[in-house]
Structure 1
Amino acid sequence: MRKLKVEPLTREAFAPFGDVIEASDDAEKHTINYGNTTRFHDLATINVTADGAKAGISIFRSAPLPMPIMIEVMEYHPKSSQAFVPLSARSYLVVVAPKGPFEARGMRAFLASGDQGVNYHAGTWHHFSLALEDISDFLVIDRIADDDNCVEYHLKASEQVTLEI
């Protein structure tokens, strides 16, 4: 079975798949609230209102998977982005693959710190939230509608990978 090396989550490395949401020195900053607050401005492109849908904010509570983590399923959302911001201040894993027909060789894995969120662009293949240390909560901004906006792909045995942390 192929091992997928986990790399640090950076804005540059993750750009083909979406946005990194973090209060970094690289972000556009504004001082607001009479000098008492720094606004890290416009950190992600949220795209959730296609076909009359609305933006929703939810909390996902994710339990860690047993180690070693095996990637057996990926998903994407054709009509919207999907943002995850950790609320538990714990590191977690992000597994993605490029838009288009699923290609296992295009999969990448990132280690996100507890102060980094991600926003998957519409059509980007990704694994569900991979909590590491303990049950972890994520604030999720995504599309709320009655239609189907989730495509899952179950990896063939030859496509499955374990994560090399």
Structure 2
Amino acid sequence: MTLSGERAQSSTSSRIIRVSSSLNPIDFAPFGEVVENPETHGGRGKVQKVEANQGSATKWLDVSHLENWYTLAPSRKAAKSVMNMFVCKPRKLEVKDGREVFPVKILERHPFTPQTFIPMGVSPEDKDVRYLVIVAPTLKTTKRDSEDLKKPYPAEKPKPNRKSLKERLLGARPNPFTNDFEATTTPSMLSLGPGRRPRGPGGPDLDNIQAFIARGDQAVTYGPGTWHAPMVVLGDKAIAFVVVQYANGVGVEDCQEVDIRGDLSVDIDESGIKASAPGIMRAKL
């Protein structure tokens, strides 16, 4: 991997990868979280619910998480929560050996923040509206990787998060509006599942890249530091996404990009996408 400015390059052999499955919380757990209505998606995942709004609503608890890890950034510049909107047009597909494929040219990551994409105004019945989620694990750090990516993390193995008595007491304080107990500081990295922990400074593992097809009524949260492709909308309609994350304005700490050298593509079966019933997705496997 070599770095040019804030963008690195990574090489891979020429190959076509298949869509792993429809987007679901279990298969996607190593990379982040899926936000969906459990009642219309087969009750997947372990999400608790309570009644709300005088019994007129169901409240699903902790469907995703937005933690701020910028205390690990080299600049130590504070970050703020931001909400942007991306209106994403459908991507052009290529035809290879009679198959429609999406060429993967670039991957990116946000080292110190999760990033949640929330589609707007999309009906679950609109089967022509889908988007492709492409993610890759992080390689184990080498000295060269750390130098190329400007050492976005101070250490590969996080130290236990020792909080002061004041921090522990504040972290257990109930929310005055809901009486829910909520943490007021970033939780210990070691107490979180793999999809919520920051990744190491290594580049993307292109040998184990995966792709999922998401419905328009699903949101996706990329875990902090998860290598992923920029949004890929399929079908024939644009999708407006509200994107929620933290940012501190330091370019290399907010976003890092890798150009893919080689012919890497994702096999898309458009007929399977359009024919699938809610909660079921057929793709070439």
Aligned in 2, Cα 1:88/1:105: closer, same or farther, shift over 3 Å? farther
Q: Does 1:37 align with 2:139?
A: no
What does residue 132 of structure 2 align with?
Answer: 93
TM-score (norm 2): 0.55
- Structure 1 segment 1-165 matched on structure 2, within 5 A: 1-6=14-19, 7-24=21-38, 25=43, 26=45, 27-48=47-68, 50=70, 51-68=77-94, 69-89=102-122, 90-99=129-138, 100-133=202-235, 134-148=237-251, 149-158=254-263, 160-165=264-269
Larger strand percent? 1
TM-score (norm 1): 0.92
Structure 1 vs Structure 2 CA RMSD: 1.5
Identity among equivalent positions (%) equals: 30
Matched residue type, 1:16: P
**Cα distance between partner residues in 1 of 2:89 and 2:268:** 19
Greater Rg by CA: 2
Deviation for aligned residue 1:105: 1.1
Residues 49-103 of structure 1: CA deviation (Å, up to 9, x unaligned): 6242111112111111111321110001111110111114231110000133222
Residues 120-143 of structure 1: CA deviation (Å, up to 9, x unaligned): 111110011111121111111111
Larger helix percent? 2
**Cα distance between partner residues in 2 of 1:3 and 1:164:** 10
Structure 1 segments unaligned to the other structure (5+ residues): none
Structure 2 segments unaligned to the other structure (5+ residues): 1-13, 71-76, 95-101, 123-128, 139-201, 270-285
Matched residue type, 1:55: S
CA contact (8 A) 2:35 2:63 kept: yes
